[in-house]
Amino acid sequence: MAALVVGACNTVIIALIAYIRSGNLLFLGIAAMDAGLLALRLRCLRRPQEPSDLLFASGLLWTMLQGITIVLIVVAGDMPMMIVALASGLGAVGGIIGRNFAAPRYALAQTNIIDLSFKVSFACIAPEFIPLLVIQSVIFVVINVSLIRQQRATMIRALTAEVESRKQSSIDPLTKLLNRRGLDEAFAREGQADGTVALFYLDLDGFKQVNDRLGHAAGDFLLLQVGERLGQSCDPSAAICRLGGDEFLVLTALTDERAMQALGIKLVKALSLPYQIEDSVLASIGVSVGIAFGVRQRTTLATLMARADEALYGAKLQGKGRCVLYRGGSNDTTTPPDLALAS
């Protein structure tokens, strides 16, 4: 906004000075229109959720007003005002390229309007310079296109690097599932939605023995397969996280306990099937699951994790390979009969 305000104030002042020097009421009208356009463009910028058509149209109109101002000054033959208008136009071109390079055709249209206003009006009073002006116009366009492309490419590289950096900071490098930070972001994105959210806290049973017996490479390969099975077992909208080691979290929108119990059974069965580590090597593990749920707008992820962890502890105490649903306290974490699955 700062560049926009400074640029508009500059052009208003130039139009007012030109009016004072020439007495031409057109300059006074241009100054008034400039001020009105500034107010309109500031309003558009403060409402980014609205369509941008009006913002782009007002920007083009502002550029056309600058072109009209330049033409009137050159035709009037006021040399001091020509120099001032030329300096202002060059400054505007630099500002347009710096501000609008993300929309290259739009930026090029604006800069060409300002440039041609000088050259066409000057050609009218000094036609002998037309060949030179044509050459300069071509060079001007080529240089501006090059600058716009360079700045746009730089912006794209910077944004791509930022997106990739954010992605890497929220993804577990081994399984490519979310890490804790990624789960926090997923929960925050859905935090304003209505309805119940369920958190499944999974801890693999027997993973350490597999890791010790077959080696860390085999353990990593097994964790990769666990991540794949979780993705296949859960709804595509679920957020799946590797918390660390052999602990995983699944955050999903479920409306009732029966649906949570059904998913718990599905996860225990899916993760308890044998894993093909090598051509002739199978590994078997189990999983214990703690489940907690709450209304999105009245709970936090930390609270859900604490409750699900408490339920998971109850599942471990009851013999592993089980799902336990948190129901309000350590003395009230229960395992429904259909969730008491042997590992």
Q: What is the pLDDT of residue 277?
A: 87
Answer yes or no: is pLDDT of 166 > 80: no
In whole angstroms, give the CA distance from residue 132 to residue 54: 37
Question: How many other C-beta atoms lie within 10 A of the C-beta of residue 80?
Answer: 10
Only one residue has tokens 């300002």, namely: 114
pLDDT classification of 191: cutoffs 50, 70, 90: low
pTM: 0.56
Q: Average pLDDT of 303-308?
A: 94
- What average pLDDT score do residues 31-43 get? 91
Task: Check pLDDT > 50 for residue 285.
Answer: yes
Q: CB-based burial of residue 141 (10 Å sphere; 0-12 exposed, 13-18 middle, 19+ buried)?
A: middle
Asked whether the beta carbons of 27 and 19 are under 8 A apart, the reply is: yes
Report whether pLDDT(335) > 60.
no
What pLDDT, on a 0 to 100 scale, did the predictor assign at position 233?
94
How do residues 3-16 score in pLDDT, each as one tens digit? 788 888 888 999 99
- The model's pLDDT over 194-244, given as tens digits with 9 standing for 90+, comes to 678 999 999 999 999 998 888 999 999 999 999 999 999 999 999 999 998
